Structure 1
Amino acid sequence: MKICLTLVLSCVVVLAGTLWVHGQENEDDGEALTGLYARAAVLADGETGRILWGKNEDEPMAMASTTKIMTCLIALENGNLSDTVEISDYAASMPDVQLDAIAGDHFRLEDLLYALMLESDNDAAVAIAEHVGGSVEGFAEMMNARADELGCSHTRFVTPNGLDAEGHCTTAAELAKIASEAIKNETFVKIINTASHSFPNLEGNRQYQVNNKDSFLQMMDGAFGIKTGFTADAGYCFVGALNRDGRLYISVVLGSGWPPNKSYKWKDTVNLMNYGIDNYEKRAIGSDGLDAGILTVSGGCREEVALRADCHKMEMLMGTEEKGEVCVVKDLSKEAPIAAGTQVGWVYYKINGKIVESFPICTMEEVDKKSYGFCLEEMFRRWLTF
């Protein structure tokens, strides 16, 4: 039998797991964000991943060069910055935007990552993919595996540069999740905040300079990324990141206009970020450690066992009308034998009734099943104390 105990508000038994959840519903707060040009948009808590506001956020769409966020992350996680990367004929054949690298030339992986993220060079993306993944197809498999790890079930990568391809898509919500993961990498953040980067090919006969095309870096205090994109299918796209007074926001806009409306993505991003700044503040939920009580044991050498929940206090962005709660869902009893560390429930942190974090409740010690020998010993002990 299970019991659900609520420490702030009443709640019901819920499913286990940590989910990316929505904040206030669009119909409640959409008035504050009317006029967005983007076909799909998201504002998310960059630390917890909770979606604070969304528009068509679960609709699969093309995402153009915002793809390169995952390309860079995979390269950083699986390559070495000092690696030597050769430019293949196929990489050199990529359409604009290009580094204009010559087939057969060699570069440090680190330098190509700057070309990838600052100028969005498509030839650099393919060269990186071939080096890290063995081929574009192999690298796409790595990208998709990483997306699956993050729970991005509607995201599929076909190319490392985001050029339009059948089946290459994501959602605004899942792209925010990928971006939130990427900015945990310090080297990634260093790259996307670099204004310009100069480097030679390793042959030493050509010099290159790449400049950061992210205008959002100069638009708002605390802006630190992340990536622009454009293709005919995707339209103008942008993933932004902003840290203001300890509040970390991720924004995504997909299909934010087509030529000549290149500035729409910036207007949408500023509107999203200002909405977050004006309407969300950090508030604490939960505590460091929680008395999870005991579990009644039947058929065991002991009648009960203590439980532990290794939870901790968290600070999350919440709207003024949002409420946090802690919900404990656990077994009341269990039959022996029970191993130490057996999971018997969950502690859920919830905002407006939706799970934002979860922690397992486990037994602190093992409980053996009653045996014939144990019963004799118990009878003898009681006889001695009679």
Structure 2
Amino acid sequence: MKKRIAAIFFVFICFFNFSFSISYAAAPGISAGAAILMDAETGEVLYSRNADKVLYPASITKVMTALLAAEKGNLDDVVTMSFEAVFSIERGSSHIALDVDEEITLEQALNGLLLMSANDAANGIAEYIGGSIEGFAEIMTSKAKELGAMNTNFVNPHGLYDENHYTTAYDMALIAREALKYNTFRNIISTTSFEIPPTNKQEETRYLYNQHKMLENPVHRSTYFFDGVIGGKTGYTDQSQHTLVTYAEQDGTTLICVIMNADTQTVMYTDTVNLFNYGFNEVSKLQLNKAHQVVDTLPIYNDVDGEGKGMNKLGYVDVIALEEFIYYGNTEMSEEDVIKKLSFGDPLLSPVYKDEPIGDLQYIYQGTVIGSVPLVAGQTYEKVDTSLISTLQQDISVTPDNGYVDIIYLGVIIIALFFALILLWRIIRHVRRG
């Protein structure tokens, strides 16, 4: 019964920890139709506006295309352009003038994809990874669902408008977070320029330049430059309006900003700058414990008579936080301001098994519980067999009838043993002298 109650309590604690809502400082006004700011390490959402609204992504779709290429491809592999890859894209849409049967490496295709938003390169990558554009789109959607992007459906690798090609700002943040785990992706989005040398179909070198205006540019610093920007991906169609994914890092914290449905470039960049300023300057990030960290030790007892009347301490058990807890609050907060309170069954009785739920650790700030983590035991303590203990207690117990006799008898035995040891010592000395 106790185990069942503990299990129910553990589930409740996990749910409470998952569903707890945290309040931050007042966020800046955002003009775009949808926006989100996410911590790349933890996935914590620091700001959202219509983040679950289904919208058209345009070319930020290419973040997923690049993610799958980094995950499944080899940079030195050759991508051969098919007729469909070259000519299925709309006239006037972005491209790098790839030709039918032209051969480029996957690395070159990815640079064309991410720096110049080349739709022909996107198609070539899709066919290289998925066998066909349609097959690759299925892989894209499947990967999105795997990442938790449940309101996303892709039908092409580039983001040109299709009514069945959609996502949300939140889903795009999840995809962007996963993509950043790959050095190939990170290195390319942070590159300001790249050259594709002559190929089997092109005699001239292609010069590619990063279209993201918040990056540091060695030639000309953009009005929208932001210190710490890693890179990102721009997008635009008439139906989607302007879309933007941007990564920035300051003081060891990396943030992801997704802007969708902005009516001008100015809006999408200004909103991104405002959100980064908010995330880096107005929100503090406190790691209050790490996953699997020992947060305390507690005594563990054996219930001798099974009724809680006879308690023997067996030792101490490590108390381990099952998961990390990071709190996002205003910049005035410090870890010293947070009170830590252990909540558990008192006293802890054996048997207790390693990794068994034993309570929770609550974090309290200014009298309010701001979160909690479940606690588990670090060691196993089986229940001690008390029959031998009880027998021994009975054998040496002192009663009115025989107590003095037992004491005298025990004293005589101890004195006899003492003299026997002295005698043995003298005999040994005598033998050594002889």
- The AA in structure 1 aligned to 2:376 is I
Deviation at 1:173, TM superposition (A): 2.0
Deviation at 1:183, TM superposition (A): 1.8
Distance 1:209 1:22, change over 3 A: farther
Kindly name which structure, 1 or 2, has the bigger radius of gyration based on alpha carbons: 2
C-alpha contact 2:102 2:201 (8 A) present in aligned 1: no
Deviation at 1:128, TM superposition (A): 0.7
Deviation at 1:366, TM superposition (A): 8.6
Moved more, 201-210 or 126-135: 201-210
C-alpha contact 1:84 1:109 (8 A) present in aligned 2: yes
2:59 to 62, 65, 75: 65
Matching of residue 213 in structure 1 with residue 211 in structure 2: yes
Deviation at 1:131, TM superposition (A): 0.9
C-alpha contact 2:137 2:154 (8 A) present in aligned 1: yes
Matching of residue 291 in structure 1 with residue 300 in structure 2: no
Moved more, 187-196 or 325-334: 325-334
C-alpha contact 1:144 1:157 (8 A) present in aligned 2: yes
Superposition map of 1:301-380 within 5 A: 306=317, 309=320, 317-320=328-331, 341=355, 361=376, 364-365=379-380, 379=387
Matching of residue 270 in structure 1 with residue 309 in structure 2: no
Q: What does residue 251 of structure 1 align with?
A: 257
C-alpha contact 1:296 1:332 (8 A) present in aligned 2: no
Rounded to whole Å, the distance in 2 between the matches of 1:185 and 1:224 is 13
Moved more, 304-313 or 196-205: 304-313
Cα deviation digits, residues 250-298 of structure 1 (max 9, x gap): 21110110xxx33221122112222223312333322542237589999
| Equivalent position SS for 2:51 | coil
| Equivalent position SS for 1:92 | helix
Q: What does residue 6 of structure 2 align with?
A: 2
1:75 to 65, 69, 77: 69
Moved more, 160-169 or 307-316: 307-316
| Equivalent position SS for 1:224 | strand
| Equivalent position SS for 2:262 | coil
Deviation at 1:324, TM superposition (A): 6.5
Question: Normalized against structure 1, the TM-score is what?
Answer: 0.77
Cα deviation digits, residues 328-380 of structure 1 (max 9, x gap): 7889999x99986566777688998676x96773664496xx9xxx98xx757
- The AA in structure 2 aligned to 1:70 is M
Rounded to whole Å, the distance in 2 between the matches of 1:330 and 1:151 is 33
C-alpha contact 2:363 2:369 (8 A) present in aligned 1: no
C-alpha contact 2:285 2:328 (8 A) present in aligned 1: yes
C-alpha contact 1:117 1:192 (8 A) present in aligned 2: yes
Rounded to whole Å, the distance in 2 between the matches of 1:326 and 1:136 is 54
Tell me the number of residue pairs that the alignment of Structure 1 and Structure 2 aligns.
Answer: 361
- C-alpha RMSD of matched pairs (Å): 4.0
Rounded to whole Å, the distance in 1 between the matches of 2:54 and 2:26 is 23
- The AA in structure 2 aligned to 1:210 is L
| Equivalent position SS for 1:2 | helix
- The AA in structure 2 aligned to 1:124 is A
Distance 1:286 1:234, change over 3 A: same
Deviation at 1:102, TM superposition (A): 0.8
Cα deviation digits, residues 62-106 of structure 1 (max 9, x gap): 111111111111110111111111111111012321121111111
Superposition map of 1:28-47 within 5 A: 29-30=26-27, 33-34=28-29, 36-47=30-41
C-alpha contact 1:247 1:317 (8 A) present in aligned 2: no
| Equivalent position SS for 2:160 | coil
Rounded to whole Å, the distance in 2 between the matches of 1:13 and 1:339 is 19
2:132 to 125, 130, 135: 135
Q: What does residue 42 of structure 2 align with?
A: 48
Distance 1:197 1:4, change over 3 A: same
Cα deviation digits, residues 97-126 of structure 1 (max 9, x gap): 112111111111111011110001111111
Rounded to whole Å, the distance in 2 between the matches of 1:309 and 1:264 is 47
Deviation at 1:19, TM superposition (A): 7.5
2:178 to 177, 181, 200: 181
Higher helix share: 2
Superposition map of 1:112-191 within 5 A: 112-191=109-188
- The AA in structure 2 aligned to 1:319 is N
Rounded to whole Å, the distance in 2 between the matches of 1:191 and 1:106 is 20
Distance 1:203 1:332, change over 3 A: farther
Rounded to whole Å, the distance in 1 between the matches of 2:343 and 2:72 is 39
- The AA in structure 1 aligned to 2:288 is I
Rounded to whole Å, the distance in 1 between the matches of 2:342 and 2:388 is 40
Rounded to whole Å, the distance in 2 between the matches of 1:347 and 1:196 is 50
Q: Which has the higher contact order (CA 8 A, sep 6+)?
A: 1
Distance 1:196 1:215, change over 3 A: same
Moved more, 225-234 or 284-293: 284-293
Deviation at 1:52, TM superposition (A): 1.3
C-alpha contact 2:353 2:381 (8 A) present in aligned 1: yes
Structure 1: which 5+ residue stretches go unaligned? 6-11
C-alpha contact 1:79 1:132 (8 A) present in aligned 2: yes
Q: What does residue 229 of structure 1 align with?
A: 235
Question: Normalized against structure 2, the TM-score is what?
Answer: 0.69
C-alpha contact 1:48 1:316 (8 A) present in aligned 2: no
Structure 2: which 5+ residue stretches go unaligned? 217-224, 307-313, 396-434
C-alpha contact 2:343 2:360 (8 A) present in aligned 1: yes
Distance 1:297 1:304, change over 3 A: farther
